[in-house]
Structure 1
Amino acid sequence: MGVLPKDNEALPRLIGESLIDIIAESIICLEFEPGTQLIEEEFCNRFNISRAPVREALHVLCSEGLLERKPRRGVFVPFLSIERLDEICACRVPLEGLAAASVARTATSAIIAQLEACLNDMKRGIRRGNTEDAFVANVRLTTSIHMNCQNSTLQKILTTLDRQALRYRFFCYNKRSDFIKKSLNSNALIVQAIREKNETDASMLTQELVQDSWKMIRNIIKD
């Protein structure tokens, strides 16, 4: 059975437009469920492309941890695991704090307006009961902080970590409605700290948010 959407079903566009991004997003949004095998030929037929770019995309996503290659069996979407979550979050806690502190130090009024717009979109999604809209707005806010941290090396590391973390975050969003509101409240405090150019609070609040999310997701997976 094929795992790709039918022709009349649009793939999401949360991250980007490249084949790597499209596959990554389908994994993050659980369109490709854990345990699903991804077949090169299906992607070739769906997008009318050769095997080379498909093989390269799957290779990149395997190296990033979003996919796993099993000898003589193929490429699969890995199951969510507490061990993997712990590894991801242990790295994210200090790095996300570092990024937030950097943005608090250098943020322009345009960047702050961008972050506030993301917060408003999160509120709108929550008010409408639209989990996916709230999630997308949350991702945009996090990505904006990453892209404006004035540290290209940190950006690259966080981009890779975030791809892996997003799958767990999306899973939690869909399992616990209170997670969305807690995330909104925490992000509002982070944006306020950035607006006030308070590097210490921006870093501390961001690290607390990642740690709290980590604990909540851990409990959900454990159950």
Structure 2
Amino acid sequence: MEKINYKYFVPTIGSLIVILGIIKEYIYYSLFEHDILKYIDISEVFLLFAKDLSMILFSLILLGLIFFFLSNNKQEDIVVFKKNWDLSLKERFLFFVKDSFYLNFLLLNLFGIRELNFIYKFRNEWEINHFIILYIIIYLFRFIYDEIIRHYTLGHNKKLPIFHDTMIHFSFLLYFLIIGKTYIDYREIIDNKTKNQISFQIENKIIKSDKTFLFIGQTKNYIFFHDKIKKVNSIYKISDIKNLKE
């Protein structure tokens, strides 16, 4: 069995975390129509993203174990590994759909996307559509990945190196965990499920968050609000405010 050279993981994963941190913050603030890239420094991305890492890494370990034990891409003999690859593309896809239905279902339900999980909410067509879309995306990713493995193995008569295989799965799982966590954070703010309240004074005026004027986050230099009724945003420079209370 091929050994993993772990020295390649640290810089790769470190860079990946920074990139995913930027993606996470961008998606989250874009849901409120804030262009966060104008107000954030690369140096603070990791700190903003750090609060999500423990949850994401814990979920990632669980999902990684599932992939390791249940995925079709195990370290079996090349001959066995090729047994369904002589089928047509359509036949391979249908076989894959049937063979991996329960694994994909389990993966989606473990992503922590409780707002899209039919166990928790199955009453809104918009939510059902998002559940179906995510399910299809998981299928497509895993099928495309299997096709890449097929072509690589047939061409080189060996399996994809463990490092590349691991990083592909790692990136894929992190991507979906980020989307799920970002959507949950957004819904908790919109539905007033968070206790994040803030008030401060600026130019002799008191600014205070409430159930309609939502405090959605802050960076090193700015504080962001969203008016749920008027659908407008407000941004304040931290250097201009006084008596900040959280």
TM-score, reference length from structure 2: 0.30
Higher relative contact order structure (alpha carbons within 8 Å, sequence separation ≥ 6): 1
Q: Flag the structure with higher strand content.
A: 2
Q: Flag the structure with higher helix content.
A: 1
Answer with 1 or 2: which has the greater Rg.
2
